[in-house]
Amino acid sequence: MTVPYFTAEEIRTAEAELFARVAEGVPMRRASWGLATEVAAELRRRTGGVTGRRVGVLAGSGDNGGDALWAGAFLRRRGVAVEAVLLKPERAHKAGLHALLQAGGRVVAELGPADLVLDGIVGISGKGSLRPDAARHVAAVTAPIVSVDLPSGVDPDTGSVDGPAVQAALTVTFGGYKRVHALAAHQCGRIGYVPIGLELPKSMVQSLTDREVGGAWPVPAAEDDKYTQGVVGISAGSDVYPGAAVLCVGGAVAAKSGMVRYAGTAREQVLARYPEVIATTAIEDAGRLQAWVAGPGFGTGKKESKALAALLAQDLPTVVDADGLTLAANNPSLVRGRKAPTLLTPHAGEFERLTGAAPKPDRLTATQQLASDWGVTVLLKGRATVIADPSGEVLIVEAGSSWAATAGSGDVLSGIVGALLASGIPPLTAAAMGAHAHARAALIAAGFPGAPASASTLMGAVRPAIGALRSAATPGVADATKRAGSRSLMAGSAP
**pLDDT tens readout for residues 277-322:** 999 999 999 999 999 999 999 999 999 999 999 999 999 999 999 9
Is 258 annotated as a binding-site member? no
459 near 250, Cβ under 8 Å? yes
**DSSP line for 367-381:** HHHHHHHHTSEEEE-
Query: What per-residue string of b and e applies to 394-411 under the rule 16 or more CB within 10 Å gives b?
Result: bbbbbbeeebbebebbbb
The CATH 3.40.50.10260 domain(s) of the chain lie at 3-203
CA dist list (Å): 210 to 39, 191, 192, 238, 466:
26, 16, 18, 36, 10
pLDDT of res. 449 = 81
Class of domain 210-476: alpha beta
- Alpha-helix runs per DSSP H in 175-261: 180-183, 185-188, 210-216, 242-255
Q: CA torsion sign, 90 to 92 to 98 to 104?
A: negative
Domain 3-203 sits in CATH at 3.40.50.10260
pLDDT in tens, 116-167: 999 999 999 888 999 999 999 999 999 999 999 999 999 999 999 999 999 9
Whole-number Cα distances in Å, 57 to 67, 120, 207, 297, 403: 10, 7, 32, 53, 34
- CA dist 358 and 351 (Å) reads 7
How remote is the C-alpha of 389 from its chain's centroid? 17
Query: Quick check: pTM over 0.95?
Result: no
Compute the radius of gyration of the chain from its Cα atoms.
26
Given the DSSP bridges, would you call strands 377-380 and 342-344 parallel, antiparallel or unpaired? Answer: parallel
**Is residue 131 marked as binding?**
no
- In this predicted structure, the answer to whether residue 485 has a pLDDT above a threshold of 70 is no
What is the pLDDT at residue 1?
74
What region, left, alpha or beta, does residue 230 occupy, with left being phi > 0 and alpha being psi -120 to 50 degrees? Answer: left
- 96 labeled binding residue: no
Residues 72, 491: Cα–Cα separation, whole Å: 57
Location of each CATH 3.40.1190.20 domain in the chain: 210-476
Residue 448: the pLDDT is 80
Query: Per the annotation, does 315 bind a ligand?
Result: no
399 annotated ligand-binding residue? no
Residue 199, classified by CB atoms within 10 Å of its CB into exposed (0-12), middle (13-18) or buried (19+), is exposed
384 is known to lie in a ligand binding site: yes
Residue 297, annotated as binding a ligand: yes
481 known ligand binder: no
**Please, what is the average pLDDT of the chain?**
94
Confirm whether residue 383 is marked as ligand binding. yes
3 state SS of 124: coil
Nearest to 377 by CA among 318, 296, 309: 318
- Band of residue 476 on the pLDDT scale cut at 50, 70, 90: low
Residue 251 marked in a binding site: no
Residue 171 CB burial class (10 angstroms; 0-12, 13-18, ≥19):
buried
pLDDT in tens, 46-81: 999 999 999 999 999 989 999 999 999 999 999 999
Identify the sign of the CA torsion 87, 88, 89, 91. Answer: negative
